[in-house]
Amino acid sequence: MIKLFKVKEKQRELAENASGGAPIKKQTAGELRLHKDISELNLPKSCAMHFPNGKDDLMNFEVSIRPDEGYYMGGTFLFSFQVSPIYPHEAPKVKCKTKVYHPNIDLEGNVCLNILREDWKPVLNINTVIYGLYHLFTEPNYEDPLNHDAAAVLRENPKLFESNVRRAMAGGYVGQIFFPRCM
């Protein structure tokens, strides 16, 4: 090996006398895998994606979901995705940017979805996550609450829950809390 080092040292000296090459951006293993996930996406019509930083930054994107059935029909909900360079070793970080009255999403936008935390596995992909999010709107559940009040209402009084959801989506107060319009 040392002989090789000697040769390389000479090459280096030569190169230093010439000029430094243009810096090349390194593509991480996470980006490569995400590229695959994204190009294979098969989304329902009700979901759309946005890439605020353009086509060459896939690691930060947004997904908007417009449920076409259930309590949340007609609303539009925006989620931000942040993907790590070691994806899929680590789950993407997902936040709900739309303030929503929902048992499994709190007012800060934290989302209680098992595959985003305790049940994430590298075989899962962005498609599964988006479907999981979509599912939260068609079937909100009061068994894993993050918004305690909303969960209690869904459980005790589904009719009231429904009207609360409508009121929030139309832009209005539920109890003391104001929800901007998202329809």
Partner 1 sequence: MADTSPQPSRSRDLDKLLLRPGNLVGPRFEPGPETRDDLQAYARVLVVGAGGLGCELLKDLALTGFRNLDVIDMDRIEVTNLNRQFLFRLEDVGKPKAEVAAKRVMERISGVNIVPHFCRIEDKDISFYNDFNIIALGLDSIEARSYINGVACSFLEYDSYNNPREETIKPMVDGGTEGFKGHARVILPGITPCFECTIWLFPPQVKFPLCTLAETPRTAAHCIEYAHLIKWNEVHGGTAFDPDDPEHMKWVYNEALKRAELFGIPGVTYSLTQGVVKNIIPAIASTNAIISAACALETLKIATECSKTLSNYLSYNGTQGVHTKVTEFERDKDCLVCGPGVLIEVEPSVTLQKFIYLLEEHPKLWLSRASVSHQGKNLYLQAPTVLEEMTRSNLSQTLFNLMGKVTRDIVHVNGTATKNDQKISCMRKLLVVFKGTDGVADMDTAGGA
Partner 2 sequence: MAEPKVKYDRQLRIWGEQGQAALEKSSICLLNSGPTGSETLKNLVLGGIGSITVVDGSKVEEGDLGNNFMVDESSIGQSKAKCVCSFLQELNDAVKAKFIEEYPEELIETNPSFFSQFTLVVATQLVEDSMIKLDRICREANVILIFARSYGLAGFVRISFKEHTVIESKPEHFLDDLRLNNPWPELKSLAEGIELNVQDPVAHKHIPYVIILVKVADEWAKSHGGALPSTREEKREFKELIKARMRGQDEDNYKEAIEASFKVFSPQGISSDLQQIVNDSSAEVDSNSSDFWVLVAALKEFIANEGGGETPLEGSIPDMTSSTEQYVNLQNIYQKKAEADIVAIERRVRSILKKIGRDSNSIPRTTIKSFCKNSRKLKICRFRLIEDEFNSPNLPELQKYLTDEDFSTAVGIYILLRAVDRFAANYNSFPGQYESAMEEDIPRLKSTASGLLNDLGCNGATLAEDLINEMCRFGAAELHAVAALVGGIASQEIIKLITRQFVPMSGTFIFNGIDHKSQLLSL
Which residue ranges make up the site for partner 1 (CB under 8 A)?
Answer: 1-9, 12, 20-21, 23-33, 35-36, 38-43, 48-51, 54-56, 58, 84-86, 89-91, 104, 106-108, 110-112, 114, 117-118, 120, 122, 144-146, 148
Q: In this complex, which beta carbon is closest to partner 2, that of residue 155 or of residue 166?
A: 155
Contacts of 37 (CB under 8 A, 6+ apart): 125, 126, 127
Q: How far, in Å, CA of 38 to CA of 176, rounded?
A: 40
- The listed partner (partner 1, partner 2, none) that binds 36, CB under 5 to 8 Å by sort, is partner 1
Is residue 71 at the binding interface for partner 2, with CB under 8 A as the rule? Answer: no
Q: In this complex, which beta carbon is closest to partner 1, that of residue 41 or of residue 170?
A: 41
Q: In this complex, which beta carbon is closest to partner 1, that of residue 45 or of residue 159?
A: 45
Q: How far, in Å, CA of 17 to CA of 22, rounded?
A: 15
Element (H, E) at 179: strand 177-179
Of the candidate residues 155, 162, 166, 172, the single one contacting partner 2 (CB under 8 A): 155
State the minimum distance, in angstroms, from the CB of residue 57 to partner 1: 9
Is residue 135 at the binding interface for partner 2, with CB under 8 A as the rule? Answer: no
Q: How far, in Å, CA of 96 to CA of 77, rounded?
A: 7
Element (H, E) at 115: none
Contact 141, 132 (CB under 8 A): no
Is residue 142 at the binding interface for partner 2, with CB under 8 A as the rule? Answer: yes
Of the candidate residues 24, 143, 159, 176, the single one contacting partner 2 (CB under 8 A): 143
Q: How is the chain split among helix, strand and coil, in percent rounded to 5?
A: 35, 15, 50
Instruction: Classify residue 111 by its DSSP letter.
Output: B
Report the catalytic residues. Answer: 112
Q: How far, in Å, CA of 70 to CA of 135, rounded?
A: 10
Q: In this complex, which beta carbon is closest to partner 2, that of residue 95 or of residue 155?
A: 155
